[in-house]
Chains A and B, each alone.
Chain A
Amino acid sequence: MEARLIVSTSPHVRTDQDVQTIMFQVVVALMPALVGAIFFFGVRALWLTLISVATAVATEALVQWLRRKPITIADGSAVVTGILLAFNLPGKTPLWLPVVGSFFAIAIVKQLFGGLGYNVINPALAGRALLMASWPVHMTADWAAPSRGVMSGIAQDLGLDAVTTATPLNLFKMSKQVLSDPNALAGQVEEARVALAALGSRGTLVNLFWGNVGGCIGETSAVLLLLGALWLFYKRIIEWRIPVSYVGTVLVLAWVAGGTEGLFSGNVLFHAMSGGLLLGAIFMATDMVTSPVTPNGRIIFGVGCGVLTMLIRLVGGYPEGVSYSILLMNAATPLLDRWTRPKKLGERTLMKASQ
């Protein structure tokens, strides 16, 4: 035979799914939420996202070019980072903010560690954390009112400060603080009670479900994020363990400890749909590079994220805990992988003698 035969190790066939198709499907899954962001927060949401993505991709290309490495922007991972970073910004933030955030996320958090696959923490979340630390005012006060709904998801005639109570979780936190403050005035207490009742009302939950509330541009619509999740499950891009254990833990803890009338009185739907929980659980905790590879590691990772999120929400100083809890669990990932090595087939019945 004349032709030169290709010789390589088995297997000689592979699935169609490569890194590029995975990232592409993640981008597709984020599209409903992007449409929602534009619908609720205006065209500015689109600009924030585009600028963030452009910066992420350009930074990746630039750093790789400077380091004389192959340029891998075609794999789509920088696009995903760019979108996620933008989704974690309030609607009125200045347009340079995503530039700084994405540059930091890609140049420092991702490429400095060696590029895709080598970063320890999620780049988008690290970028957001940097922005929070450096420009807290922009990150916590530049809320844009959703075009259809109201900031807190409840009617604003409660006389609460429109800016500081911008998101449902903010209002929740403030009201709880008032209730636990022995020096609070009677009027304030009454107001807080009304606010909490309103937060748990059907009307608020409906608003949270559709996304008619204040918040970061990509995090408000539960239904659109869940749509993305369905797509990712259908395309077998992500696996159930992390999102289910994360959301599940939040649900349980919210029910047990998230209420105002003692234990087991929490409103689980409110906690599940508010803040960045769904965005985080579906799109950021599931970041493959920074989450454990072992099945049990993934469960512990999700539970850990859930516990930390609720700790921060209910006890900590911030109204919202999703990003910090995921970042903390990112840092724990190498250890989790080590501690949760699966039992090999036949390890249960291992023969000591033959070893």
Chain B
Amino acid sequence: MAERLQDLTDERLMGLISQGMQTALVEIHSRYISPVYALTLRILQQQHAAEDASQETFLRVWQKAATFDPARGSLVAWLMTIARNEAIAIIRSNRRFPVMLGEDEQATIDLNAPGKYLQDTEWRDLRLALVNLPAEQRQVIELAYFRGMTHEEIAAVLKLPPGTVKSRILLGMRKLRLALVEY
């Protein structure tokens, strides 16, 4: 029987990509474009910019496939970290991106739609935990991680004392860690 790309593991496909096989990249793209696009859209809030960042992400996969080490984590984690970096770099290089204060975040999260690509229900639980955080904690975590702001920048934007921002992030992160551990 012929071996089909669709049947290969992420790891094998990454090996093929590092050897220059474009069809393997196309397969990885079809597996992960949805979460990558969702993440970049969440960060950039503009379809066009999100498409650009997603594209850059897969170009990086093409270029850096050989550096992917499955022993250090899953491909999706690696990919999403790259996607975040690409999207944040766009924000940082471009002032026209408005700072969203993250208050409408909940509206963009559809909890009924399971992450199709993800079997890991624990991560879905984490999404739930994030949504269930007190709004003030969720907001600062969103601004830090999905807008690329430091705690000092967040304090300036929200007009809060730096210590308040820090402690909100810490409280929220502790709860999220517990959500992950308890699972």
Do the two chains bind?
no
Interface, chain B (partner A; CB < 8 A): none
